[in-house]
C-alpha cells in the first residue's frame, strides 16, 4: 500500500481551512519558524520534507506571504506582505506582569 503524502496534506489542508474559516487567524510556532527561516535565509528549509513544514509552505504561498524561486523548487523567499508580517511579529513587545493588591484591587507597581 503506497501512501501519497501530497494527497494527505491536501485533504488536511482543505479540512483545516473549512474549520478555520470563521475563526481569527492563529499561527502555530512551527509555522512561524518556517516563515522566519525564509525571511532570514536564502537556503532551503532544513525540514522541508516534514509534513508540518510542507503545510506551512502551502499556507504561506496561498496567503501571498512567500514566493517560490524560479530556479529551484526548494527555495522560497518572503514577499513584501510576508516581510511585513515577520517584522510585526518581531516588534511585538513582551507581556507585562502586574500585581494587584487583593485588599483594594489596585495595581501595585
53 CA to centre of own chain: 9
Task: At 109, list the grid cell.
Answer: 507597581
Query: Which pLDDT does position 6 carry in this prediction?
Result: 76
Query: Which pLDDT does position 1 carry in this prediction?
Result: 62
Domain span holding position 58 = 5-18+27-108
The CATH number linked to 66 is 1.10.10
Residues of the chain with pLDDT under 70: 1-3, 19-25
Query: Which pLDDT does position 4 carry in this prediction?
Result: 74
108: three-class secondary structure by DSSP: strand
Task: At 3, list the grid cell.
Answer: 501512501
Q: What is the number of structural domains in the chain?
A: 1
Amino acid at each position: 500500500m503506497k501512501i501519497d503524502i501530497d494527497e494527505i496534506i491536501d485533504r488536511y489542508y482543505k479540512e483545516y481551512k473549512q474549520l478555520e474559516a470563521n475563526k481569527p487567524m492563529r499561527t502555530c510556532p512551527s509555522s512561524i519558524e518556517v516563515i522566519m527561516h525564509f525571511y532570514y535565509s536564502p537556503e532551503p528549509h532544513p525540514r522541508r520534507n516534514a509534513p508540518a513544514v510542507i503545510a506551512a509552505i502551502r499556507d504561506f504561498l496561498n496567503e501571498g506571504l512567500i514566493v517560490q524561486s524560479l530556479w529551484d523548487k526548494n527555495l522560497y523567499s518572503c514577499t513584501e506582505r510576508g516581510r511585513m508580517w515577520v517584522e510585526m511579529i518581531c516588534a511585538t513587545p513582551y507581556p507585562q506582569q502586574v500585581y494587584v493588591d487583593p485588599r483594594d484591587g489596585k495595581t501595585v507597581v
